[in-house]
């Protein structure tokens, strides 16, 4: 499976009464796909899945699946957690719905490297869809070295990894320097997209791409064509925007900007998240305006 491209992990928009604004979610999915996104992610961290009810999660996935089918786009669905059996059960529900499952390294329990490998081996044997490993050690408490990542990459049924390590570290460099065939690395830290593309990443899953989808797609195209004259300055501007967007806990600033643009009805997030401050929203809007300045 080819996971080359920019994927947008959709926010879950809320109406004034606090319910999920499904019509708005549909319009948002259509808009990012129209601007060139290769697909969308439903129930990624940006979508606040921990604060959604089971019914709300199903509704979100159903909307995204329908739009992706209509557009011929890739649907990635966030699934899995700390418990291997429950993760396998969640993956079973994606049969005929998702193209790929975004599955985190088991959070909170901090298994050994061998336990991580056993966890994913169990899931690949049972999952009806390919797995994209979500490596985000500052959330899971489970850093993985390049050797373990490569062993995971060689598992049948694993098609790639979303790397959100907070830096371009030595393990990332080693992994991208010797990728197994058919294994895609996607940037998971918005501000580090350009350096990861330079090292050979296939694209990214980027919350900031809600706000400038076409520009992120343009950056990927520039790197693919080795057009560094345009890629470097655009990469710097997009990184500046990403830093502004992530100056407060995600997805508060993304939602605030989308609401200011009239693309979602409210900037609301659910507790324990809090709405973005006016200062953070203003900074992000200024950075967005500067993209074309």
Please tell me which residue in 7, 57, 108, 134 is annotated as part of the active site: 134
Query: CB under 8 Å to 147, separation ≥6 — which residues?
Result: none
Pair of tokens at residue 154: 């060689």
| DSSP symbols for 11-73 | ---B-TTSSB-HHHHHHHHHHHHHTT-SEEEESSGGG-GGGS-HHHHHHHHHHHHHHHHHHT-
C-beta separation of 124 from 88 below 8 A = no
> In this structure, are residues 275 and 268 in contact, taking their beta carbons and an 8 Å threshold?
yes
Is 205 in contact with 186 (CB distance < 8 Å)?
yes
Among the residues of 108-212, which ranges form H helices?
A: 113-126, 137-140, 146-153, 170-177, 193-199
**Is 134 assigned a catalytic role?**
yes
Three-state SS at 162: strand
Of 7, 57, 162, 255, the active-site residue reads 162
Mark whether 108 is an active-site residue. no
Beta partners for 135? 163
CA distances (Å), 121 to each of 116, 146, 152, 285, in order?
9, 18, 8, 44
Contact 267, 252 (CB under 8 A): yes
The residues annotated as belonging to the active site are: 134, 162
């Amino acid at each position: 499976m080819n996971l080359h491209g920019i994927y947008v992990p959709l926010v879950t928009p809320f109406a004034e009464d606090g319910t999920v604004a499904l019509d708005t979610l549909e319009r948002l999915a259509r808009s990012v796909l129209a601007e060139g996104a290769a697909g969308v992610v439903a129930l990624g961290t940006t979508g606040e899945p921990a604060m959604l009810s089971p019914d709300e999660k199903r509704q979100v996935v159903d909307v995204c699946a329908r739009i992706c089918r209509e557009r011929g786009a890739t649907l990635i669905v966030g699934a899995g957690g700390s418990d291997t059996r429950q993760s396998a059960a969640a993956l079973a529900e994606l049969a005929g719905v998702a193209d790929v499952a975004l599955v985190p390294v088991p959070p909170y329990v901090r298994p050994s490297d061998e336990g991580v490998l056993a966890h994913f081996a169990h899931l690949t044997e049972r999952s009806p869809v390919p797995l994209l490993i979500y490596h985000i050690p500052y959330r899971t408490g489970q850093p993985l070295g390049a050797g373990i990542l490569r062993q995971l990459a060689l598992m049948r049924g694993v098609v790639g990894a979303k790397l959100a390590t907070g830096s371009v570290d030595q393990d990332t460099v080693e992994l991208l320097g010797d990728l197994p065939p058919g294994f895609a690395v996607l940037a998971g830290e918005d501000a580090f997209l350009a350096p990861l593309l330079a090292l050979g990443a296939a694209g990214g899953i980027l919350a900031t791409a809600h706000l400038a989808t076409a520009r992120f797609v343009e950056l990927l195209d520039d790197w693919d064509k080795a057009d560094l004259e345009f890629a470097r300055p655009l990469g710097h501007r997009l990184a500046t925007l990403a830093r502004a967007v992530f100056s407060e806990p995600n997805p508060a600033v993304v939602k605030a900007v989308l609401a200011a643009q009239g693309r979602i009805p409210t900037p609301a997030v659910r507790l324990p998240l809090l709405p973005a401050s006016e200062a953070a929203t203003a900074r992000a809007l200024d950075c967005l305006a500067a993209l074309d300045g």
